[in-house]
Amino acid sequence: MSALLFLARLIDRISSLLGKLAAWTVLAAALISAGNAFVRYGFDISSNGWLEIQWYLFAATVMLGAPIVLNLNEHVRVDILYGRLKPRGQVMVDIFGIVVFLLPVMGMLAWLSWPLFLKMYLTHEMSGNAGGLIRWPAMLLLPVGFAMMFIQGLAELVKRIAYLSGHLQMSFQYEKPLQ
């Protein structure tokens, strides 16, 4: 169990790094958006490439930021029943959700998005807009993001099983492991 917990903490660190990168993409998108608006309205100059890079950065924000949101237990949850459960019950619900929903869906989406990325990469698919960008970098975010969510889901599963087996204490305000 200690080896699995070590691996889970390593995955947590990777997710944290990706989360920091995602935070920087928010800033970059905001700066590009402001600069693009200034140039467009101030000098009547526009570029589809600048608009598309904002979309790419938004995709990076979502796909690279999602694993850390799961790790911090800040994801969307319908809390009608969950909030009334004792910590052990919450962990059981989490395990059910991870095994039945998160892992199968993220695994399937990673699997299905990989060939789409590969096709775009091999054909050097470009945006149909004048001055548009090559599409594969944005498409790469899908299999990477879904795979990272899958891997972070495995880490969360390990931590919850470790809690149930007495190998890990957790604080149940947000189920974050105690340091």
pLDDT for residue 177 is more than 60 = no
SS3 state at 126 = strand
pLDDT tens track for 108-142: 999 999 999 999 999 998 888 877 788 899 999 99
Question: Residues near 115 by Cβ (< 8 Å), separated by ≥ 6?
Answer: none
CA 4, CA 93: separation in Å to the nearest integer? 21
CA 130, CA 10: separation in Å to the nearest integer? 43
The whole-number pLDDT of residue 115 equals 97
Tokens of 67: 């694993």
pLDDT for residue 179 is more than 70 = no
pLDDT tens track for 49-93: 788 899 899 999 999 999 999 998 877 776 778 778 888 888 898
**Phi and psi for 171 in degrees, rounded to 5?**
-95, 130
The whole-number pLDDT of residue 173 equals 47
User: Which residues are bridge partners to 148 per DSSP?
Assistant: none
CA distances from 160 to 12, 76, 130, 171, 172 (A): 14, 18, 50, 12, 11
Question: Residue 171: which pLDDT band, with cuts at 50, 70 and 90?
Answer: low
